[in-house]
Structure 1
Amino acid sequence: MMRRVSLQLFSFAAPLLLAAFIFCPPLEAQRRSVPSPSSFPDLDSDLGTTTRARSFSISGTVADAQSHIRIDGVRVDLQGLTGGILATSFTSGNGSFQFNNVRPGSYELIFEQPGYNDDREHLEIDGPVFGITVGLRRFAPGGAAEAGPTVSVRELSIPEKARGAMSKGMSLLYQKSDYPGSIKQFQRAIQAYPNYYEAYAQMGLAYMRNKDAAQSEKALRKSMDLSEEHYPDALFLLAALFSSERRFADAEPLARKSVELDAISWHAQSELAQALLGLKRPDEAEKYAQAAAKLEPDNAMLALLLADVHIQLRNGPALLDDLNSYLKLAPNGRYAEQVRQERDTVRQRLQNTQAAPAASPATPDAHP
Structure 2
Amino acid sequence: MIANLDLFAEPGRSYDGGMLTSFLMMTLLTQFVGIEGQVRIAGNRGPVRFARVELLRSTIPVDQQYTDFDGRFRFGFLPPGQYMVVVEYQGYDRAAQDVDVMTQSELVMIELRAPRTSSQRLAPTVSVDEYLTPKNVQKELDRARKEMKRKRWVKAEEFTRRAIEMAPDDGDSYHVLAVVLFEEGRFDEAEAMALKANDRPHRIADVHLLLAKLYLRNGNSAALREQLESYLKEAPNGPISDRIRQALNPRTDQPSPRR
Q: 1:222 to 1:102 in 2, by over 3 A?
A: closer
Within the candidate set 261, 280, 285, 2:234 is matched to 261
Q: What is residue 3 of structure 2 aligned with on the other side? A: none
Are the counterparts in 2 of residues 59 and 98 from structure 1 also a CA contact under 8 Å? yes
Indicate the structure with greater strand content. Answer: 2
Q: What is residue 26 of structure 2 aligned with on the other side? A: 37
CA distance in 2, matches of 1:137, 1:192: 32
CA distance in 2, matches of 1:89, 1:192: 38
Q: What is residue 158 of structure 1 aligned with on the other side? A: 133
CA shift for structure 1 position 76: 3.1
CA distance in 1, matches of 2:176, 2:195: 12
The code of the aligned residue for 2:154 comes to P
Q: Tell me, what secondary structure is at the counterpart of 1:85?
A: strand
Within the candidate set 163, 185, 188, 1:189 is matched to 163
CA distance in 2, matches of 1:65, 1:159: 22
Provide the TM-score with structure 1 as the length reference. Answer: 0.48
Deviates more, 1:158-167 or 1:135-144: 135-144
Within the candidate set 236, 239, 250, 2:209 is matched to 236
Are the counterparts in 2 of residues 80 and 86 from structure 1 also a CA contact under 8 Å? yes
CA shift for structure 1 position 201: 2.0
The code of the aligned residue for 1:204 comes to A
- In terms of Rg, which structure is larger? 1
Provide the TM-score with structure 2 as the length reference. Answer: 0.64
Q: 1:262 to 1:233 in 2, by over 3 A?
A: same
CA shift for structure 1 position 214: 2.0
CA distance in 2, matches of 1:161, 1:65: 26
The code of the aligned residue for 2:29 comes to F
Q: 1:111 to 1:255 in 2, by over 3 A?
A: same
Q: What is residue 58 of structure 1 aligned with on the other side? A: 34
Are the counterparts in 2 of residues 59 and 129 from structure 1 also a CA contact under 8 Å? no
Q: Deviations over 1:339-359 (max 9, x none)?
A: xxxxxxxxxxxxxxxxxxxxx
Are the counterparts in 1 of residues 197 and 207 from structure 2 also a CA contact under 8 Å? yes
Q: Cα RMSD (Å) of the superposition? A: 4.5
Are the counterparts in 2 of residues 61 and 96 from structure 1 also a CA contact under 8 Å? yes
CA shift for structure 1 position 123: 5.2
Is 1:215 aligned to 2:189, yes or no?
Answer: yes
Aligned pairs for 1:1-368 (under 5 A) are: 9=16, 11-13=18-20, 15=22, 36-38=25-27, 40-42=29-31, 56-62=32-38, 71=47, 73=49, 75-81=52-58, 83=59, 85-90=61-66, 97-102=73-78, 107-112=83-88, 118-122=94-98, 130-134=105-109, 136=111, 156=131, 158-173=133-148, 175-227=149-201, 232-265=205-238, 267-268=240-241, 285-287=249-251
Q: Tell me, what secondary structure is at the counterpart of 1:200?
A: helix
CA shift for structure 1 position 209: 2.1
Q: What is residue 358 of structure 1 aligned with on the other side? A: none
Are the counterparts in 1 of residues 171 and 200 from structure 2 also a CA contact under 8 Å? yes
Are the counterparts in 1 of residues 36 and 105 from structure 2 also a CA contact under 8 Å? yes
Question: For structure 1, which runs of at least 5 residues remain unmatched after alignment?
Answer: 16-33, 43-55, 145-151, 275-283, 291-312, 314-368
The code of the aligned residue for 2:16 comes to L
Are the counterparts in 2 of residues 236 and 267 from structure 1 also a CA contact under 8 Å? no
The code of the aligned residue for 1:286 comes to P
Identity rate of aligned residues, in percent? 13
Q: What is residue 125 of structure 2 aligned with on the other side? A: none
CA shift for structure 1 position 164: 2.8
CA shift for structure 1 position 111: 3.7
Aligned residues: 233
CA distance in 2, matches of 1:95, 1:196: 26
Q: 1:62 to 1:11 in 2, by over 3 A?
A: same
CA shift for structure 1 position 36: 4.8
Are the counterparts in 2 of residues 117 and 136 from structure 1 also a CA contact under 8 Å? no
CA distance in 2, matches of 1:184, 1:214: 18
CA distance in 2, matches of 1:66, 1:254: 37
